[in-house]
Amino acid sequence: MGSVTSFWCESAWLDGGPVRGVRVESADGRTTALTRAENPAPGDRELRGLVFPGLADAHSHAFHRGLRGRTHRDGGSFWTWRTAMYALAGRLDPDVYRDLATAVFAEMVLAGWTAVGEFHYVHHRRDGTPYDDPNAFALALRDAARAAGIRLTLLDTLYLTSAPGEPPLPEQRRFSDGTAAAWAQRVREIPADAGFRVGVAAHSVRAVGPDDLAVVAATARDLGAPVHVHLSEQPAENDACRAAHGATPTELLERAGLLGPDLTVVHANHLTDADVARLGSARVTVAACPTTEADLGDGVGRARDLATAGAVLALGSDQHAVVDPFLEARGLEGAARLGALRRGAFDPADLVAALTTGGHRSLGLDGGTLAVGAPCDLVAVDARSVRTAGSDPAQLVLSATAADVTDVVVGGETRVRDRVHTTLGDPADLLLDALRRLT
């Protein structure tokens, strides 16, 4: 066992609630001991406020960060926003994406995210031909995560059609491997390691037909990998699926053998009652992305119904309109309140679970708890800021923001100290340089 590092937490989130005075010891990146301690011992690193287990962002498109604050003037819809997104995707290359993603991942760590699922579908050159290394973009994202100090599950995404039975649009060619078999072979060649897990994804039932969804399911089983899919984000997706296949998107996933505990469905805003029952009984994870869904006008989802039916909830920042796990948690509760016309759809502990254990489950990771043997990932939140002062510690998730995250530990290593990233400092300059190269 390597050298032991110890942290004293003024208060820590244990077993679903805050506990005062907890000492955490770690070695080789994992927690080796948890003890009650009223005061720090010599050599302890002090973490003030309330310390949560690491938070996992279940759904990210890092390059979408380039659109923040640039798409609001003319209103529009998800579909008009998508045009701007395609234009941005068309300007990416592996080098600029490495720098952009490094800045985005660093912003995420500063906000308290310690793990991320990157839903990755920009694979090839602009004309659709592979780079000399067909996984050049995947490796750029791996390097970015290492530089930022965040755990990465790369959800390599199959994308074959623009609509059911239709070839990719010119702006989608770099997303496509041509066939599901070619995609599966490329995914198998991505070199995973301890901090870099490879998962798989089908972009959506718009982009992947029934036979190829079955290939995704088989590939996930072969690799022992988590599998993700965008599901029923927009009513138009449901309408096209019914017209082409005589089924809802959820029914199509069931036919392909995808429904199960290893599946995460993203958004799931427009579901029938039968869809909710299917997803719940299969114990899928539902990754809600409330700030993105609000930004794009996607609609209010059925998170409370899904959780009641048996689904596990996770949260993601998706297009990074904001990077703030606490706003995502409040967005989940807020949308449920708006739909139900009552407060308290979720207990605060449920929201913390979505940020921690739910997100890690979605990504095939074993973190999200403060427990012996778990990864030593810690997120300290200021309980005395102008936003949080006076809050019940058990309800801090409903008053804090990313600005209140003071310290972040990933694998026993301090990545954020006193609100500053320990290796990258302020990532804004890196971000601005990457954005300049994209314009």
Q: Annotated catalytic residue: which of 318, 377, 382, 407?
A: 318
Secondary structure class of 114 (helix, strand, coil): strand
Distance CA 420, CA 405 (A): 10
Q: In what order do the strands lie in the sheet with 30-36?
A: 30-36, 17-27, 5-14, 45-53, 378-381, 405-410, 413-417, 420-421
Conformation bin of residue 43: beta by default, left when phi > 0, alpha when psi is -120 to 50 = left
Six token digits for residue 86: 């395609």
Q: Annotated catalytic residue: which of 267, 270, 320, 360?
A: 267
Could you confirm whether 228 is annotated as catalytic?
no
Please name the residue that has the structure tokens 């890196």.
430
Q: What is the DSSP letter of 298?
A: -
Q: What is the DSSP letter of 239?
A: H
Please name the residue that has the structure tokens 């090839």.
124
Please name the residue that has the structure tokens 């100090």.
149
> If 0-12 CB within 10 Å is exposed, 13-18 middle and 19+ buried, where does residue 407 land?
buried
Q: What is the DSSP letter of 22?
A: E
Strands 5-14 and 45-53: parallel
Distance CA 263, CA 266 (A): 10
Conformation bin of residue 256: beta by default, left when phi > 0, alpha when psi is -120 to 50 = alpha
Q: Which of 103, 59, 63 is nearest to 85 (CA)?
A: 63
Q: What is the DSSP letter of 166?
A: B
Could you confirm whether 245 is annotated as catalytic?
no
Taking a C-beta distance cutoff of 8 angstroms, is the pair 153, 230 a contact? no
Distance CA 317, CA 120 (A): 14
Six token digits for residue 297: 């006008």
182 residue type, one letter: A
Round to the nearest angstrom and report the end-to-end CA distance of the chain: 49
User: Which run of H or E residues covers position 75?
Assistant: none
Taking a C-beta distance cutoff of 8 angstroms, is the pair 242, 200 a contact? no
> If 0-12 CB within 10 Å is exposed, 13-18 middle and 19+ buried, where does residue 160 land?
buried
Q: State phi, psi for 186 to the nearest 5 degrees.
A: -65, -40
Catalytically active residues, by annotation: 267, 318
